[in-house]
Amino acid sequence: MASTPLGPSARFNRDVHTTDDPMAAAVALRDGRLAVLPTETVYGLGARADMPRAVARIYAAKGRPADHPLIVHVAHASYLPEWGHPVPSYATALARAFWPGPLTLVVPRTARAGDFITGGQDTIAVRVSSHPGLQGVLRHLAAMIGDPAVGIAAPSANRFGQVSPTTAGHALDELADVLDPDDVLLDGGPCEVGVESTIVDCTGTAPVVLRPGQVTAGAIERAANVRMGHSSPVRTPGTLPSHYAPSARVIITSPQELADRATLRTDASVGVIALADIATPPGLVRLSEPVTSDDYARVLYAALREADALRLTEVLAVPPPRDGVGAAVLDRLTRAAT
């Protein structure tokens, strides 16, 4: 990413209407405009899911290929059957256990879900976010248009292949120069989870994790009392091997390798992301020192952005333990490193 002495965001125009009022975002969406929206995972770029032209602008703004499907956000689990059918009983159990929360369920689609959202696939990805800002937007939008099951199509608010934004400022850095002045950015503060939702294929006899997130495979098995499946026919284009990548080269490393590398080469153009109990070798730039795996997930994308803002050439990342959200952190680091 190009950057200036003022930081990576200084080159963008800032004409996008920024607000903390969910009603303003709901009005924009109602009228077919785009809204950048906070969720508990990362910021999303939303449009009314029943408006093909608004949804087309999401693809144009992101530079996203048209065959990559979008996640649809709804207000409540009870609207899942409006968008997906049939919904297997384990999926209903997962919705009950984890919604609102950072979980996306892929189910066969109903007529509500147009080709322009699903990338032509016969499945739809549905999510209910716990973020009060996004919940407010859905409530206002539903009331204004008289459709409680209304959906907002919202992929992450980054340009295609880039790091997902976890603050309103980062979303603006990504999209300010491609949004219109009458689009809206709803500032809901920094995202609590920090990595994208767990996506679960619910089209077969057993759930299959398509993208790891804070909701783990173990938690899914316990909540729905099922064994995880392992292969899925569902195409998930957003989970390309190389994704979520900053300009700096990301290298996954162990604490020992980190120490060894630094003795070989003390270099102020190399950044370090690791848990706080791992020391920064002399001369390297500490980007982040999260205390727990949850902290690690929360700060990861901001740290990768910081690496580019500082024009670092390399980032050495020591992943957290793999339990909990740690598996999702390792997944994102692996993609960033590819």
- Asked if 196 is part of the footprint of ligand AMP (rule: CB under 6 A), the reply reads yes
**CA dihedral for 47, 51, 54, 56, sign (positive or negative):** positive
For every residue of 282-312, DSSP letters joined together read TTSEEEE--SSHHHHHHHHHHHHHHHHHTT-
- Asked if 123 is part of the footprint of ligand AMP (rule: CB under 6 A), the reply reads yes
Neighbouring residues of 151: CB distance < 8 A, sequence distance ≥ 6: 48, 49, 50, 72, 73, 74, 79, 83, 112, 113, 126
The span of 49-57, 73-81, 121-129, 170-178 binding ligand AMP (CB under 6 A) equals 121-129
The span of 54-62, 87-95, 156-164, 226-234 binding Mg ion (CB under 5 A) equals 156-164
**6 vs 111 by CB, closer to ligand AMP:** 111
Q: How many residues bind Mg ion (CB under 5 A)?
A: 1
**46 vs 271 by CB, closer to ligand AMP:** 46
- Asked if 61 is part of the footprint of ligand AMP (rule: CB under 6 A), the reply reads no
Closest among 303, 42, 319, 20 to 192, alpha carbons compared: 42
Subset of 89-118 contacting ligand AMP (CB under 6 A): 106, 118
Strand, coil or helix: 139: helix
In the 8-state DSSP scheme, what is residue 280? P
Residues β-bridged to residue 104: 127, 199
First to last CA, the chain: 17
**117 vs 272 by CB, closer to ligand AMP:** 117
In the complex, least distance from residue 263 CB atom to ligand AMP, rounded to whole angstroms: 39
- Residue in 94, 125, 200, 275 binding ligand AMP, rule: CB under 6 A: 125
- Residue in 118, 156, 162, 253 binding Mg ion, rule: CB under 5 A: 156
Q: Which does 195 bind (CB under 5 to 8 A by kind): ligand AMP, Mg ion, none?
A: none
- Asked if 236 is part of the footprint of ligand AMP (rule: CB under 6 A), the reply reads yes
Q: Diameter of the chain by CA atoms?
A: 65
* Contact status, residue 200 vs residue 209, Cβ threshold 8 Å: yes
Subset of 151-170 contacting ligand AMP (CB under 6 A): 155-156
- Residue in 103, 150, 199, 200 binding ligand AMP, rule: CB under 6 A: 199
CA 338, 153, 138 angle in degrees (round to 5)?
A: 130
For the beta carbon of residue 65, count every other beta carbon within 10 angstroms: 11
The span of 143-151, 234-242, 248-256, 289-297 binding ligand AMP (CB under 6 A) equals 234-242
* Contact status, residue 271 vs residue 310, Cβ threshold 8 Å: yes
The span of 178-186, 237-245, 280-288, 318-326 binding ligand AMP (CB under 6 A) equals 237-245
Applying CB under 6 A, which residues contact ligand AMP? 68-71, 106, 118, 121, 123-125, 155-156, 196, 199, 210-211, 234, 236-239
Applying CB under 5 A, which residues contact Mg ion? 156
